[in-house]
């Protein structure tokens, strides 16, 4: 812009006018300025008394020089789990209109000494006895090994935000079976009812914090429903909160004696409802096998207890087999869980398991695949943790068939051998909040992959998730966390956290509650080095990239849909059904092409004209090809191999290759994987 300087006399007149306008503005009220935003991060009306934050300095705003948001991401937390499981499994609330004394108090049955804290006995061991008083003394809780007490008080989350966290995934969680068998509850056990309540409470907490800052939209806790909104929130220096779901029987999709208790209409109705609530990521199975997928087992006594729950929910115990590849589920073991086993019917016992059989026989069901595709239609992100390796493998097949990036591993429950497959899709990985030594060592194992794919890293605190958290390294450790310390961005000073009469020191208390997340990150810096923390500080950007690509994803056009098809042969034994070639391109996975029972067979598809072909998907029925080729041709006579494998294992295969012009696509079977022929439910041909 060209500036024309006025004569000096005019400048003086303008100065007088500006001074007069300024005086008028001061009389009428404050003018917009950087001074008007002074201490924007401090609320005007924090409840009194309340927990202290013990962080000074302005939370960082904006992006880095490359335009990337900065900050940590907790990809797996359970702020509202006190509302799940019947309402009395997790004691205390993340906020209360009546104040901190009401929020941070124990369950009624824990008074006077914890003798009836049954779930505490099961998860922690011992007799469950503890001082039930929370505010203001906090003698025994929250603690890193207390799994039944509130760890997500809003002010503790605020401290984590002030320490550099910019994304928090709040997984709405419950378990109907645990609710039904637990002695104490004050509400029903319907899982979807609990999910709805937790979602509403999350919005209530946002409004509660907003009121401290002067009204709607002004607080630091912002529930977001798309990645653009999340970026805007983070650039304002605030915390972007994403709603997820982790429950064992979503949409009522349990199974009883191997029979699904839901259908496709239940899945569609459930996904629509969750999306309307603001949910953007979810698990399909959790702890118990359900009508959608088999689970990755828990180990030890907890695993036995959950297997009891599996039986009570489904009528069947977990079933195992030898794993087919390097990936494996957690070993079940044969540990006793007496309190849980008392719940079994007379004469029923938890089976013993062979030590070498570590994989769940159950994978992804057809209903599970339908649910994944339903999530893809709604541009939601799929949580792969808790899926059995068989189910995860099949889920990856579905995602890869569409080049769908919305894949998340949020808290170390996915086999690490899947990590590159996850990154190749464009997905995001986070690690469970373990001790700094273990966390740093596991981060190092996947460091080369993060470098290769240029991605950041996340953590999953799983607080209020009955998992256990990093214990103290000891007050006499040679390299302790030294208070106060600076935040990773350097702009804030963090001191020991105080709530009521209790002050927590990470060196002697460990990760007792959510407010200790910054202290834990400082411990990682000391133990694991700045490189691990730098990867974590890039986590928010990587998570939002995955989410953004998921939102923008659109399914490619299937060039084979309804195309003319021919084959070397077609099975003929049931003419009433028909297995002709066109059944492989009719868009119906309930039909299929099937060949005669010989190795040398083929299926040919005529696209009608020459088109660029880059990807071919093959949905095999039980009769699959162990060795086969995908061939292309312009004239239907001269063929060239675009892709081949000798290690086919059935299921859904995706063949990718350099884009090639072709009119004809041929699947050439070389060796059968079964004694039958070849059978394809659907073949897809794509240019992308």
Range of the domain at 160: 77-86+150-296+363-552
| pLDDT at residue 631, as a whole number | 98
Instruction: Say how far apart CA 277 and CA 52 lie, in whole Å.
Output: 32
DSSP-derived 3-state class of residue 223: strand
Q: Is-contact 276 258, C-beta < 8 A?
A: no
pLDDT tens, position by position, 75-127: 999 999 999 999 999 999 999 999 999 999 999 999 999 888 888 877 777 78
| pLDDT at residue 504, as a whole number | 98
Among 527, 552, 577, which residue terminates a domain?
Answer: 552
| pLDDT at residue 302, as a whole number | 85
Shared domain check, 593 and 473 = no
Within 10 Å of residue 660's Cβ, how many Cβ atoms?
A: 13
Q: Is the dihedral of CA 651, 657, 659, 663 positive or negative?
A: negative
Q: Is the peptide bond prior to 136 cis by the omega test (within 30 degrees of 0)?
A: yes
| pLDDT at residue 626, as a whole number | 97
Within the chain, what is the greatest distance between any pair of CA atoms?
104
DSSP string of 610-654, one letter each residue: EEEEEEEEEEE-SS-EEEEEEEEESSSSS-EEEEEES---SSEEE
Q: What is the 3-state secondary structure (H, E, C) of 109-155?
A: HHCCCCCCCHHHHHHHCCCCCCCCCCCCCCCCCCCCCCCCECCCCHH
Shared domain check, 614 and 479 = no
Shared domain check, 163 and 283 = yes
Shared domain check, 537 and 411 = yes
| pLDDT at residue 333, as a whole number | 81
Among 552, 585, 612, which residue terminates a domain?
Answer: 552
Instruction: Say how far apart CA 547 and CA 46 lie, in whole Å.
Output: 33
| pLDDT at residue 37, as a whole number | 66
Here the CATH number for the domain that contains residue 579 is: 2.60.120.260
Instruction: Say how far apart CA 413 and CA 152 lie, in whole Å.
Output: 22
Q: How many structural domains are present in the chain?
A: 2
Shared domain check, 480 and 436 = yes
Shared domain check, 589 and 450 = no
Shared domain check, 571 and 483 = no
Here the CATH number for the domain that contains residue 528 is: 3.20.20.140
Q: For the chain, which residues score pLDDT lower than 50?
A: 1-36
Shared domain check, 161 and 271 = yes
Among 524, 552, 580, which residue terminates a domain?
Answer: 552
Q: Which residues are registered as beta bridge partners of 246?
A: 173
DSSP-derived 3-state class of residue 581: helix
Shared domain check, 639 and 599 = yes
Asked if the structure places residue 324 within a domain, the reply is: no
Instruction: Say how far apart CA 193 and CA 533 lie, in whole Å.
Output: 39
Shared domain check, 504 and 397 = yes
Instruction: Say how far apart CA 496 and CA 518 lie, in whole Å.
Output: 10
Asked if the structure places residue 332 within a domain, the reply is: no
pLDDT tens, position by position, 144-197: 999 999 999 999 999 999 999 999 999 999 999 889 988 899 999 999 999 999
Asked if the structure places residue 213 within a domain, the reply is: yes
Instruction: Say how far apart CA 688 and CA 614 lie, in whole Å.
Output: 6
Shared domain check, 433 and 546 = yes
Asked if the structure places residue 145 within a domain, the reply is: no
| pLDDT at residue 585, as a whole number | 97
Is beta strand 502-504 parallel, antiparallel or unpaired with respect to 652-672?
unpaired
pLDDT tens, position by position, 231-265: 999 999 999 999 999 999 999 999 999 999 999 99
Shared domain check, 600 and 529 = no
């Amino acid at each position: 812009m060209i500036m024309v300087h006025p004569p000096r006399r005019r400048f003086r007149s303008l100065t007088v006018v500006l001074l007069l306008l300024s005086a008028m503005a001061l009389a009428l009220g404050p003018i917009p300025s950087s001074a008007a935003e002074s201490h924007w991060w401090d609320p005007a009306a924090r409840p009194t008394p309340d927990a202290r934050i013990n962080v000074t300095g302005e939370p960082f705003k904006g992006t880095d020089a490359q335009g990337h948001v900065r900050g940590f991401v907790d990809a797996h937390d359970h702020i509202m789990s006190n509302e799940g499981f019947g309402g009395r499994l997790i004691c205390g609330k993340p906020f209360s209109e009546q104040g901190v004394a009401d929020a941070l108090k124990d369950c009624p049955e824990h008074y006077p000494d914890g003798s009836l804290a049954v779930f505490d006995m099961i998860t922690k061991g011992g007799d469950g006895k503890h001082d039930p008083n929370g505010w203001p003394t906090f003698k025994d809780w929250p603690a890193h090994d207390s799994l039944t007490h509130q760890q997500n008080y809003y002010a503790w989350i605020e401290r984590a935000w002030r320490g550099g966290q910019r994304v928090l995934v709040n997984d709405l969680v419950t378990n109907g079976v645990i609710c039904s068998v637990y002695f104490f509850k004050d509400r029903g056990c319907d899982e979807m009812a609990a999910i709805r309540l937790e979602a509403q409470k999350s919005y209530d907490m946002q409004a509660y914090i907003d009121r401290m800052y002067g009204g709607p939209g002004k607080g630091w806790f912002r529930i977001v429903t798309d990645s653009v909104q999340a970026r805007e929130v983070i650039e304002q220096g605030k915390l972007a909160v994403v709603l997820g779901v982790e429950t064992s029987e979503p949409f009522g999709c349990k199974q009883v004696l191997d029979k699904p208790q839901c259908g496709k209409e239940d899945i569609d109705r459930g996904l629509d409802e969750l999306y309307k609530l603001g949910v953007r990521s979810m698990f399909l199975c959790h702890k118990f096998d359900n009508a959608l997928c088999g689970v990755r087992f828990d180990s030890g006594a907890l695993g036995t207890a959950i297997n009891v729950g599996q039986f009570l929910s489904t009528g069947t115990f977990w079933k195992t087999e030898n794993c087919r590849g390097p990936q494996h589920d957690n070993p079940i073991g044969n540990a006793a869980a007496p309190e849980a086993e008392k719940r079994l019917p007379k004469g029923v016992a938890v089976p013993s398991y062979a030590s070498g059989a570590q994989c769940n026989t159950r994978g992804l069901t057809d209903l599970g695949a339908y649910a994944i595709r339903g999530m893809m239609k709604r541009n939601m992100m799929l949580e792969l943790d808790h899926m059995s390796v068989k189910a995860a493998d099949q889920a990856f097949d579905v995602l890869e068939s569409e080049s769908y990036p919305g894949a998340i591993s949020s808290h170390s429950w996915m086999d690490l051998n899947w990590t590159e497959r996850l990154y190749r899709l464009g997905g995001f990985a986070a690690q469970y909040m373990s001790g700094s030594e273990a966390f740093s060592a596991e981060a190092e194992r996947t460091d080369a992959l993060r470098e290769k794919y240029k991605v950041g890293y996340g953590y999953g605190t799983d607080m209020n998730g009955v998992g256990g958290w990093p214990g103290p390294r000891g007050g006499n450790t040679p390299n302790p966390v030294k208070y106060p310390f600076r935040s990773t961005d350097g702009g804030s000073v963090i001191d020991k956290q105080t709530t009521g009469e209790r002050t927590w020191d990470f060196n002697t208390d460990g990760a007792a509650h959510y407010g200790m997340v910054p202290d834990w990150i400082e411990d990682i810096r000391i133990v694991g080095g700045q490189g691990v923390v730098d990867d974590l500080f890039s986590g928010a950007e990587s998570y939002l990239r995955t989410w953004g690509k998921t939102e923008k994803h659109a399914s490619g056009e299937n060039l084979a849909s309804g195309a003319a098809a021919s084959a070397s042969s077609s099975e003929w034994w049931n003419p009433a059904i028909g297995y002709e070639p066109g059944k492989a391109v009719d868009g119906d996975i309930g039909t299929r092409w099937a060949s005669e029972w010989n190795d040398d067979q083929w299926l040919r598809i005529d696209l009608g004209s020459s088109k660029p072909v880059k990807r071919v998907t093959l949905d095999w029925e039980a009769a699959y090809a162990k060795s086969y080729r995908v061939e292309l041709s312009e004239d239907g006579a001269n063929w060239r191999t675009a892709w081949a494998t000798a290690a086919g294992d059935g299921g859904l295969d995706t063949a990718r290759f350099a884009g090639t012009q072709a009119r004809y696509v041929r699947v050439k079977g070389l060796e059968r994987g079964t004694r039958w022929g070849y059978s394809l439910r659907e073949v897809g041909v794509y240019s992308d």
